[in-house]
Amino acid sequence: MKNKFKFRVCDNRTLTVSFLFVLLSTLTLVGCDDFVDVDLPSSQLPSEAVFEDNTTATAAMVSIYAQMRTNGLLNGNPDGMTYKLGEYADEMTFYGVSQPSDTSFPDNTVLPTNAIIQRWWNASYSQIYAANAVLEGVANSTALTAAQKDQLRGEALFARALLHFYLVNLYGAIPYIETTDYRANSTVSRMPVPTVYEHLTADLLAARELLATDYITIDRVRPNKATVEALLARVYLYNGQWAAAADMASAVLNNADLYAWETDLDLIFKKESTATIWHLMPASDGVNTNEAGAHIFLEGPPPVSSLAVNLVDAFEAGDNRRTKWIRAVTDGAETWYHAYKYQAIDNTGSSVEYSIMFRTAELYLIRAEARARQGELTNAKEDLDLIRTTAGLGNTAATTQDEILAAIEKERRVELFTEGHRFFDLKRTARLDAVLDSKTGWEATDQLLPLPEAELLLNPNLNPQNTGY
């Protein structure tokens, strides 16, 4: 039986076992079918040629970021991870005026046949395949300089680790794919979660050694050392490695020349923000983020979902994030709310907002939590209060370790809302059941999504299915 876990060849034949193709006109990979052998189109290049020139080798790497922005987990649209997990947890309330049947995430009734979880799985592993193709192509290149190889290899390792990080937190035990050999990939088994973390941590530590402190471009759309360190800080936090999490967060935050703290809430989500560590560039200049189009609605009821009222009510009086980053929409009888972090929904001639993947506020909150869990309460409060002061609030009144940790959890909720953190925060702190038990469809086994049924049928080695499905 043919196995989808051979990954995908795109409709314009972007990937095969023997070749990595780069469509130079778009630098993207588009919708994919199952693996097939194809002839080499004249508009594309065999992998050997791609990696004998830095321009085309870079295009192969950049195309992965373009695909992240367009398809799969990180696309920023209503079918992307940050939006759907907002519905799945307690950030978003579903109305579904334009998509009345799409209730599985807000109702916590996601099934193994769900098309969204299938797309997330397929797109992520296709992007991982592309990262592996870059790694193999760079390793075999005889023309790229050592510096060029280090840059591309570091970026590909980072991309591979990032995608596996999200997959393991969504699905639990998963395969960690490190080759383009479809014969091996077609029969892979799932690795235990700790083993997946070992692999992705090793990738990130290697990438950290390869990438420079300075960005290779001025617009922060290609990862640098600090981007890797930001993800490492998050990984260590999720694993309860408090000292390592604090140290890695400090490694980023201590670089004040690159990451000056932004005190103007109106500027934090603009593309020039000095608080941005890494963001994804829109498809073309003048276009802005998918996130703005996904969240902003001009009249009610909302076409898909709105911010949950309990999230809006979680902001303290005087919190400027409530007035700057949230907008109310009313029909005179009822009021709804939408995120307004990204504001540009029309073409602006020159793009003003990019989709932020990592920013310094998260690193301060990671360090605050890591410090608090180690008993460094004064330092933890200093990090927490920096976030609060920027929001127009006074210093936290929390004093004990438990109070400070609770204050940090609340601060993460109101600072990072709709950025994809809330569900994972509740999960890693074992608070999902306590917080989401009031949702009609919530069950304890919902902490993991089901593996796509089609993948289990095509590769029995991926069994067993997650509990509860």
Domains, the chain: 238-429 (1.25.40.390)
Instruction: Provide the mean pLDDT of the chain.
Output: 90
pTM assigned to the model: 0.91
Q: Residue 289: what pLDDT? A: 98
Q: How confident is the model at residue 348 (pLDDT cuts 50, 70, 90)?
A: very high
Q: Residue 48: what pLDDT? A: 73
Determine contact, residues 426/86, Cβ cutoff 8 Å.
no
Determine contact, residues 269/342, Cβ cutoff 8 Å.
yes
Q: Residue 207: what pLDDT? A: 98
3-class SS at 106? coil
Cα(130)–Cα(196) distance, integer angstroms: 19
Summarize pLDDT for 359-373 with one digit per residue, the tens. Answer: 999 999 999 999 999
- The whole-angstrom distance between residue 274's C-alpha and the CA centroid of its chain comes to 20
Between 51-55, 196-200, 263-267, the lowest mean confidence (pLDDT) is in: 51-55
Q: How confident is the model at residue 16 (pLDDT cuts 50, 70, 90)?
A: very low
Kindly state the helix (H) or strand (E) to which residue 338 belongs, with its residue range. strand 335-339
Cα(240)–Cα(245) distance, integer angstroms: 8
Q: How confident is the model at residue 96 (pLDDT cuts 50, 70, 90)?
A: confident
Q: How confident is the model at residue 182 (pLDDT cuts 50, 70, 90)?
A: confident
